[in-house]
Amino acid sequence: PVAVSVSPRVSLADQPVELRAQGLCPGQLVTLRTWLKDEQGECFQARAFFRADSSGNVEPGHQPALGGSYHGLCPMGLLWFLQPDTLFLRLVKRDVTSSPFVVHLEVFDGLQLLPQPQGQPLASCEAERWYVAPGVRRLPVRDGRVRGALYIPP
């Protein structure tokens, strides 16, 4: 059976992760798609096209994308090139301490060129991308006109 994974499944937003699809036919052309919804419910997504290796695996960290949101070797491309469905929006995490971005990873057979994929994915999984590590404390800073936040490690 086809499977797709993100390792580690829970990570900080600035840490690299490994994406992998396996159980594909050798040489199969597939689309890997990532998407998430921000805190306002807006969807951001990226896609890249790959050809499975001789073992039926796709690893964006070791194989170049043939096209899509980016092309070439870019291990984190499916996370770095997330684009909004609504033009001119930016992906911003406002509540960094209490919730992660939940990133969905899907693998589709063939090339998925339309903004919304046609058909069901062959496999899918989710990953959490946190902006603050466990145990970090956030202290608001207010001094005159200065406003900010101080993050103190455990």
Parallel, antiparallel, or unpaired for β 146-152 and 137-143?
antiparallel
What integer pLDDT is reported at residue 103 of this predicted model? 98
- Coil/strand/helix, residue 78: helix
Residue 142 in this model has a pLDDT that exceeds 90: yes
Residue 112, domain CATH? 2.60.40.2240
List the end-to-end C-alpha distance of the chain, in Å, as a whole number: 42
65-123 pLDDT tens trace: 999 999 999 999 999 999 999 999 999 999 898 999 999 999 999 999 988 888 999 99
Q: How many domains does the chain have?
A: 1
Q: What percent of the chain has a predicted confidence (pLDDT) above 70? A: 100
Give the residue numbers spanning the domain of 68: 3-152
Q: Which of 19, 20, 25 is nearest to 56 (CA)?
A: 25
Q: Kindly report the pTM of this predicted structure.
A: 0.91
